[in-house]
Structure 1
Amino acid sequence: MASLSLEEQNELTRIAVRGGQILLQHGAESRIIEQVTQRFGMALGADNVELSVSSDAIVITTRFGERCVTTTRRCYDRGINMHMVCEVMRICIMLEKQLLDGKQVKKRLNRLTPYKYNRWVVVLMVGLSCSSFSHFFGGDWPVYITTFFASSCAMILRQELGHRQHNPFVNFAAAAFLATSIASIGVIHQFGANPEIAMAASVLLLVPGFPLINAASDMLKGHISTGIARWVFATLLTISASIGIVLSMVVTGVWSWIV
């Protein structure tokens, strides 16, 4: 059996936990975090890797012979970004195939930066997708256009508030308020045959689908506490959006929200 000094074990533990931290910060499900972190540790020479994943922290223990090293990292939410998840998994595979050594893996992990699409492309695509849903629900072209502008403006507001690090619950409530208020104009002035459809379709960008899917996946795969934490977070986001919608209806006096 190859020897592994305490310093080398400390270093491989730091590398493995860094990989798991990036995965957790960018929305990977708990089972993937667990598997990839263990693969990092084993590929770097550890006999065994055990870890505990929570909603905002990761604890890892590497064992070599009779010696154990444990470390903990706090994981602040960086937003869902599958580019970062894929990059960490790619580095892990390259390490397992011995295309990278420990120092190279550490440098690559530290150099990783989230890839982000052009903000105006995102606004355009969100507007088109929400307005397409309005068409699917039976809306005509005036409803389609109303939904496009309402959802696009809501997405711009989300981006601005997110860039300024505002609370995500405030972000969702404000975006829902703006989208519903703009769509309400279509109802007041009767843009299209069923302008009420725009009020429902324009807030679909606020559905927290990814957190809900991760929550269900975590609970089904045995990570109950993390899954419940993610489910509660997604539920609070939904409630925040609902508050924004209701406040807009109170202000505008338009309560016709049908699909």
Structure 2
Amino acid sequence: MADLQPNPPAEPVGRDAALAEKSDAVCRMGSLMLTAGTGSYRVKAAMGRVAAALGIEQLEAQVSLTEIVATTRAQGAFRTQVLEVPVPVVNADRISALLRVSLRAAPGLTAAELHAQLDAVEAKARHYSHLAIVAGAAAACAAFAFLNNGRWQECLAAALAAGLGKGVQLALQRFRLNQLAVVGLAATAACLVYMLCASALAWLMPSAAHPLHEAAFTSAILFLVPGFPLLTAALDLARFDFTSGVSRLLYATMVTLAAALGAWLVAWTFGLTPAEIAPLDLAPAALFGLRALASLIGVFGFAITFNTPLRPALTASVIGMIANVARLTAMDASANPLLCAVAATILVGLLAGWASQRLPAPRIILSVPAVLIMIPGASTYRALVAMINRDSLNALSNASAALSVIVALAAGLAIARMLTDPAWTVANPTWTQMPTTRAQRILRNRARAEQRRQAARPSTTDDNGN
């Protein structure tokens, strides 16, 4: 008689199915955060908070620009998922809404409830129309033109050119074309409009020797500067997250190169030279006031293009104005430009951290627009043009100047984050056991207060339930 073999234990199908359902919800949170344009750290932190609320014991995630690899563990089982997402398009309002969902997640949350909250976030319409976004880009580039020593003529031409270039970019995005091609065409269109404005001003002002400075056309394409990917790349690299940081840095470099190539074609056709513009001859008080106004308008314009809600957009504008005017004033007093950049972005980070607890809003949607006004876009463009023209000396000179300022800006943001976020002092945080921040406590207290108010409201139904 054959020996009877014991039956193998039944596969814990129910446990695995429950973990799969929770893991899908966690990965959906991560993919929405990533496609909204935020950095790897914030994506992992949001995934970790909702994972802990769902009962997942451990989360391990690897995030790049367009991919997420996540492993979830609970009750002795594990599940690994790989997601591929489109190239991020910055949506500050969605980042804020998703952050609120993750911060309010409490133990007992179910996957179905989380999916319902994410559905509501996805269904939310954008705050601004395409016309408002075009106007925001125009205002930001006009402000850039002034901060780059442009006169009213250059500011007007840069605004018109950037507005039309942004319109071209929005129109081409509907056809789902290659993003680099869209950027190149938008840059070409903006620069062509700038040259049309130059011709028009030369015709209207025949007595003026130079009605429009030819070097100021670089300000017309600064709406294409990939500020969010560039700064989030620097922050990810500061945490030694090379997978995300390097991919974002390469993406930002490619976008910048595509914009520079489109502008270079126009410059080569018309024989333009992207040299520096001489400083404006203005009284100190007038220069101070105009710089403050330009910084305020520039940051607000960028915030609008990122779909930032009005209150955070205005807050970011004030923060950017304070920090940038202080930086420029210190540089006028012969202070080291790199130290000024570090100090200015530390101030931005601290003010953004303070304001984010009171709006509430993620500090990244307050700090990035405020820092963008400080990015040396003109010198970056000059470096790329010199490289295309095989002018090695000018290419190295402008590239080193631009890169050193960008590194200084990123260093200031990283220092401010380390001073205010306890998780940044930990080399490898456990994503399901993130330190409780002040913003999280504020949001949870507000959620409890809202629940108490709703419970205290008198019922409007009658005895029949009507």
TM-score where L is the length of structure 1: 0.89
* Match 2:255 to one of 227, 237, 252: 237
Which residue of 2 is the match for residue 103 of structure 1? 112
Distance 2:245 2:165 in 1: 28
For 1:248, the aligned partner's letter is V
Shift of 1:110: 3.0
What SS is found at the alignment partner of 2:141? helix
CA RMSD of aligned residues (A): 2.1
For 1:171, the aligned partner's letter is V
For 2:69, the aligned partner's letter is V
2:63/2:243 contact within 8 Å kept: no
Distance 1:136 1:41 in 2: 46
- Residues 256, 18 of structure 1: alpha-carbon distance in 2 compared, 3 angstrom cutoff: closer
Shift of 1:193: 4.4
TM-score where L is the length of structure 2: 0.51
What SS is found at the alignment partner of 1:5? helix
Offset from partner CA, 1:212-258 (integer Å, 9 cap, x none): 10111111112102211110111011111111011112233333554
1:196/1:258 contact within 8 Å kept: no
Offset from partner CA, 1:149-189 (integer Å, 9 cap, x none): 11111110111111221111111111111111222234445
Distance 1:140 1:95 in 2: 51
2:34/2:88 contact within 8 Å kept: no
* Match 2:140 to one of 129, 133, 143: 129
- Residues 103, 155 of structure 1: alpha-carbon distance in 2 compared, 3 angstrom cutoff: same
Distance 1:242 1:28 in 2: 25
Which residue of 1 is the match for residue 452 of structure 2? none
Which of structures 1 and 2 has the bigger CA Rg? 2
Shift of 1:78: 4.3
Which residue of 2 is the match for residue 72 of structure 1? 82
Which residue of 1 is the match for residue 185 of structure 2? 174
* Match 2:39 to one of 29, 50, 58: 29
Distance 1:165 1:244 in 2: 19
Distance 1:217 1:115 in 2: 29
Q: How many aligned residue pairs are there?
A: 255
Distance 2:193 2:71 in 1: 53
Identity level (%)? 22
Matches within 5 A, 1:171-210: 171-188=182-199, 190=202, 193-210=211-228
Deviates more, 1:150-159 or 1:67-76: 67-76
Distance 2:51 2:143 in 1: 46
- Residues 247, 197 of structure 1: alpha-carbon distance in 2 compared, 3 angstrom cutoff: closer
Task: Point out where structure 1 has 5 or more consecutive residues left out of the alignment.
Answer: none
2:158/2:194 contact within 8 Å kept: yes
* Match 1:17 to one of 27, 32, 48: 27
1:200/1:258 contact within 8 Å kept: no
